[in-house]
Structure 1
Amino acid sequence: MTTLDDDHTGARIKEQRRLARLTQRQMADLLPYSYSYLNQVECGARPATAAFVAACAKALTIDVTVLTGQPYVTELQRDRLAELVRPIRESLDLYDLGPNPDISARPADRLIAAADHLCAEVRATRLRNAARELPDVIAELTHTAWSMPTTEVWQALVSAYRTAHDISVKLGYYDLSTVALDRMDWAAQRASDPCLAAVRQYMRALVYFREGEYRIGQRLVDAGRSVVDQAGPIREALAVGGQLHLGASVIAARAGDPSGVAVHIGEARKIAERIGDASNVHWLSFGPTNVALHEMSAAVEMRQYDDALKQSRRIKVPHQLAVSRRAHFLIDKARTEMETGHTESALKTLVEARRAAPEQTRYHPAARETITGLVHLARRTPDTLNHMAAWIGL
């Protein structure tokens, strides 16, 4: 039977609390959570929610990754993904040196297609493929942007930097994701593209969302909406604006603002009804389905698990929805099932998420926390749960 070791989020919270010389009572006073909840998480009796981890990190003035244990280096090395990160880091660093005389770049149209292909690979959760190809694409696009700059090439470079951000986040390298966001801004300014600039603000907002800085996250969303308004009422701008509302909805949920959630979900729904499925716009997956998925995610963030479970059962995920988005939905659904006592269903849902997107699921903190929670709740650990726990290194 699998049992919890000392390398879980609750144990890391306990370690960092002690390093800060705080008792559990003193720590609880700094959190919008009870002493009992903190005690249960620290001893592994219940899994830590993302909101709780963010609140602890903020109280202790440390990065969230210190508490989640990201990046999960042992598993990354086992999957031979860790070795792919350094070339990405180097490609992001060498952005300001001008044309590279040692590079023989592909024609611009092929590079633009390659950047788009990388976005598709990430949405299909083929992270290894994307990570392996990305450094060369960034290097060649950087060389071409310096030597033969066009709006289309700068836009493709923004897209490649966005892929670097997405891969870094999914693998837990948040320091690298921040560098990628800076590079997105650098290239977006040269592309003079307000929609891409707004997408970058949306992604910045999610960084602060993860860290528990909800006011800053909301300000960044507002900044993104101001930028995208410059593009006018075109379909692309409407889709980006709708996605910004969806980002604002989960930020409001995490901040405990249900009225804000309702407003932003309502605005996003109006846009989705107006333009329909716009999942092809900047790979944001925006459309009616994504609005429903975010409404459910907001309920999860507010710990309204009964409502979230009801919503999850009503959602019909279309086949064409990005695999990455489908896997995120399944991870959210598994959490709601566990929290509402449907542990067998939760395990089945996690297995489905693993089958659909193994790389994304293995390195997703919420999936790992749910597996940890199921292990604690199980009187007798089923073989499937044992296998899942071993798979994430528990």
Structure 2
Amino acid sequence: MPTLDENHTGARIKEQRRLARLTQRQLAQLLPYSYSLLNQVECGARPATADFVAAVAHSLKIDVTVLTGQPYVTELQRDRLAELVRPIREALDLYDLGPNPALISVRTDDCLIASADQICQEVRATRLRNAAQKLPDLIAELTHAAWSSPSTQLWQALASTYRTAHDISVKLGYYDLSAVALGRMDWAAQRASDPCLAAVRQYMRALVYFREGEYRIGQRLVAAGQKIVGQAGETREALAVAGQLHLGAAVLSARAADETSVSLHISEARRIAKQIGDASDVHWLSFGPANVALHKMSAAVEMRQYDNALKQARKIKLPTQLATSRRAHFLIDKARTEMETGHSEGALKSLVEARRLAPEQTRYHPAARETITGLVHLSRRTPDSLNHLAAWVGL
């Protein structure tokens, strides 16, 4: 059975607690969790769930990544993904420099717009390396084109590439870069005068605060997004974005332990999904009946209603058109519920399947790593497949 080194989340919580000169009991008094759980997390006997980490980070007034250890630089360097981040960072800094006279040839507007859509699709298919390699040049070309001959379509495409930069940064754990990308997305969306894009940006900002444990701020951002998208009327696009905002509000409410609000937001999202059907093509949000079911299950997970979440997970039938990234996220959530309800073998199978479908996403997903950590400690005799998973994520 593998033993975890001192570079796990619990050990980092212990280190930061000591730096804050707090005992375990003193920190536990600041948390909506028991002293016993904190003790188990610090020694590695229990995984540190995302909501637990967020609560600790909030109490210690530090960023969540200090506790999760993101970005996981050693693995990123081994996968040659870390070297792709700097060019993206540099491309994001071109936004206000106007046309680039050094660009000799730029593709046609139609080609650039199509490429922006394609690269977003690659991220949904979890081909992160391919997307990250193509992104800097595409941002540079679109920035030049939008400044040279401004049009709504070009600004929209540029906003889309900034959104893709955000998505890649989040999946690889570079949250500082994701914040820059969201700022650029807002800048381009304003120039496109596109309320739907602006509302999508508010949804993504809300998820930042979901991760950090500032649920009220996240809820305010969702409400702001609903006001913005309301300017777009009753179009299919606007309804899909409004529905996704309700789903974001549902998981935020779940983290805040507001079960009434969870039900209200899920019901409203379900109503919209029934009205417009599958709208996974709208801004690549994956909105539709299936995504409503997935968020309802995720909300149960966040409220630690694991038996309920597992019951839902076993009834969910994922449509073939569902994005691979969303499918893998479901499997990671399912693995957590299976581990928490004593179905360790099922949890391992879900993680192995998530790795098969989306290796890059799964390797750098904090919840996947924490669930693997939990399974290692629960196993008296560790299966080879779990040994391989633990080594693969760097435990």
- What is aligned with 2:7? 7
TM-score normalised by length of structure 2: 0.99
- What is aligned with 2:305? 304
Residue 5 of structure 1 deviates from its aligned partner by: 1.2
Residue 355 of structure 1 deviates from its aligned partner by: 0.2
Q: Find the residue that maps to 1:86 and give its secondary structure.
A: helix
- What is aligned with 1:87? 87
- What is aligned with 1:34? 34
Residue 126 of structure 1 deviates from its aligned partner by: 0.1
- What is aligned with 1:290? 291
Matches of 1:4 and 1:133, distance apart in 2? 37
Q: Map 1:80-229; keep pairs closer than 5 Å.
A: 80-103=80-103, 104-229=105-230
Matches of 1:34 and 1:90, distance apart in 2? 44
Matches of 2:24 and 2:94, distance apart in 1? 46
Matches of 1:246 and 1:110, distance apart in 2? 33
Matches of 2:100 and 2:93, distance apart in 1? 14
- What is aligned with 1:340? 341
Matches of 1:136 and 1:148, distance apart in 2? 18
Q: Find the residue that maps to 1:74 and give its secondary structure.
A: helix
Residue 4 of structure 1 deviates from its aligned partner by: 1.4
Residue 105 of structure 1 deviates from its aligned partner by: 1.4
Residue-by-residue CA offset, 1:6-50 (whole Å, 9 max, x unaligned): 110000000000000000011011111111111110011100110
Residue 319 of structure 1 deviates from its aligned partner by: 1.2
Matches of 2:121 and 2:194, distance apart in 1? 21
Task: Name structure 1 gaps, 5 residues minimum.
Answer: none
Residue 320 of structure 1 deviates from its aligned partner by: 1.0
Q: Map 1:227-238; keep pairs closer than 5 Å.
A: 227-238=228-239
Matches of 1:380 and 1:291, distance apart in 2? 38
Residue-by-residue CA offset, 1:154-177 (whole Å, 9 max, x unaligned): 000000000000000000000000
Residue 196 of structure 1 deviates from its aligned partner by: 0.3
Matches of 1:375 and 1:106, distance apart in 2? 51
Segments ≥4 residues shifted beyond 6 Å: none
Matches of 2:320 and 2:393, distance apart in 1? 27
Amino acid at match of 1:294: H
Deviates more, 1:296-305 or 1:96-105: 96-105
Q: CA RMSD in A?
A: 0.4
Residue-by-residue CA offset, 1:193-229 (whole Å, 9 max, x unaligned): 0000000000000001100000000000000000000
- What is aligned with 1:52? 52
Amino acid at match of 1:152: Q
Matches of 2:29 and 2:106, distance apart in 1? 57
Matches of 1:356 and 1:372, distance apart in 2? 21
Q: Find the residue that maps to 2:382 and give its secondary structure.
A: coil
Q: Map 1:294-373; keep pairs closer than 5 Å.
A: 294-373=295-374
Amino acid at match of 1:5: D
Matches of 1:214 and 1:193, distance apart in 2? 26
Residue-by-residue CA offset, 1:274-301 (whole Å, 9 max, x unaligned): 0000000000000000000000000000
Task: Name structure 2 gaps, 5 residues minimum.
Answer: none
Matches of 2:245 and 2:77, distance apart in 1? 35
Percent sequence identity over matched residues?
A: 82
